[in-house]
A and B are shown apart, each in its own frame.
Chain A
Amino acid sequence: NAGVTQTPKFQVLKTGQSMTLQCAQDMNHNSMYWYRQDPGMGLRLIYYSASEGTTDKGEVPNGYNVSRLNKREFSLRLESAAPSQTSVYFCASSEVGEQYFGPGTRLTVT
């Protein structure tokens, strides 16, 4: 089992560019999450999906959109990147217990 995988690992964007971060899990979990990690602020929830076909906003959703493509995949899209979105992005999945995290995507917006 690969667990939770994320692509790409690193990305540099210019202000105003768009991109999609991909996440997939092979544990048959219903719930999936996107977080961002900034220095001194822990992880903050951007969006989550409690089950296939549903998505909900988390603490910091502005500037992002998500798609729960199927049970395995949950993507995060930045339509018009801003320097404030420079961060490390983590995807996670869970069933009834712990959340399992991917290795992260380090995004820099210049």
Chain B
Amino acid sequence: GDSVTQMEGPVTLSEEAFLTINCTYTATGYPSLFWYVQYPGEGLQLLLKATKADDKGSNKGFEATYRKETTSFHLEKGSVQVSDSAVYFCALRNAGSARQLTFGSGTQLTVLP
């Protein structure tokens, strides 16, 4: 079945540091890929997405590129802020799965001032 593997956290960075959170996936066919963010005490919000190979999703300074050859969708940001502290989830949706999402285990990011 489909699966998503994320780098384990927690990740602690200083403000303005570069962020990478690794995500790799296993799926049949051509899934869509997503990054969701969960701020403390809240539900998940879509951060960015990519629907086909070589697409780059971007939002709020975050970017991720859909790499079919390495089955990866790593999240990056050039300069993190304290307000980016949250849990980040990588997810995929396969076309044949009734629009269900398969999530990674989440990565806790803490940014220190």
Interface of A with B (CB < 8 Å)? 4, 31, 33, 40-45, 48, 50, 56, 58, 90, 92, 94, 96, 98-99, 101-104
User: How close is A32's CB to chain B, nearest CB, in angstroms?
Assistant: 11
Q: Could you tell me which residues of chain B, from 15 to 63, have a CB within 8 Å of some CB in chain A? A: 34, 41-46, 49
Alpha-carbon gap, A3 to B89, bound state (A)? 21
Cα distance A88–B89 in the bound complex, in angstroms = 16
Interface SS of chain B: helix, strand, loop or mixed? Answer: loop
Closest to A102 in B: B43
Contacts A31-B99, A56-B98 given; indicate if A103 touches B42 (C-beta within 8 A).
Answer: yes
Asked whether, in the complex, the Cβ of A98 is within 8 Å of the Cβ of B42, the reply is no
Tally of chain B residues near chain A (CB < 8 A)? 18
Which residues of chain A are within 8 angstroms of B4 by Cβ–Cβ distance?
42
B44 in contact with A90 (CB, 8 Å)? yes
A40: chain B residues at CB < 8 Å are: 105-106
- B108: min CB distance to chain A, Å: 10
B9, closest chain A residue (CB)? A40
Separation of A28 and B54 alpha carbons in the complex (Å)? 32
Q: How far is the CB of B32 from chain A (nearest CB, A)?
A: 9
By the criterion CB–CB under 8 Å, are B106 and A101 in contact? no
Q: Is the CB of B106 within 8 A of A42?
A: yes
- Interchain CB contact under 8 A, B45 and A58: no
Q: Looking at B45, B46, B100, B105, which has the most chain A CB atoms within 10 Å of its CB?
A: B100
Q: Is the CB of B99 within 8 A of A94?
A: yes
Q: Assess whether B43 is in contact with A48, with CB atoms less than 8 Å apart.
A: no
Assembled-state Cα–Cα distance A98/B43 (Å): 14
Residues of B within 8 A of A42 (CB): 4, 89, 103-106
